[in-house]
Structure 1
């Protein structure tokens, strides 16, 4: 199923069951994730995708959206720093990528094409995270 066909629907509909409202004492992050599940996929911003991916929420729906953005701008600054969406995306669990091997291959091609000078500007440890993703993704094929 093409997950991008459902851009007009929120995760609460696409990824059942619907989540109950967050508890009164929930953290800001928990409240934000609950809020994001009620927004139609097509309205999610790069920072929203980074948050959902980092929290491992509905990855089969949000990873395709993130990869679509990363194909155009691999080092997109979603919220914190240049490349933060890419690093959140490559750190998604292998089990999520197992369901999306073609997307993983596309993302691998983008990563391999990144010039060394741009990689040097990423946070410490980023090159290792990207290398781990490349190794994991190659095992999917």
Structure 2
């Protein structure tokens, strides 16, 4: 008796069940999070984010180093990029009214280049780097 087809079928069923229960990101965090701010004296941002049910809210904080990198003074999206070590962040902006969601999220970053000179990027599209994982900010 060949049990390989049965084992393969069971394995695929388990994989499908795990994938179905894994929180899926909302890659446009600005559309499902609001009240954005930079945590003082850190390279962290905070927001209130909606769960997938669009009813439950979570206060969430993320280190920008987890999702951004410094490429010779230019900020960019990069998982575990470590930008917080060499960049200073300011002026986080959305186009939403207070307490409302938005369709964009930007931030200014002043990052050191290889020569040790700060390069400022204004209105960097931070929304491209962040996702909402069922109420929690992530990359």
- Same-fold call, TM > 0.5? no
Higher relative CO (Cα under 8 Å, sequence separation at least 6) belongs to 2
**Between Structure 1 and Structure 2, whose CA radius of gyration is higher?**
2
Structure number with the higher helix fraction is: 1
Structure number with the higher strand fraction is: 2
Superposition TM-score, scaled by structure 2 size: 0.25
Superposition TM-score, scaled by structure 1 size: 0.25
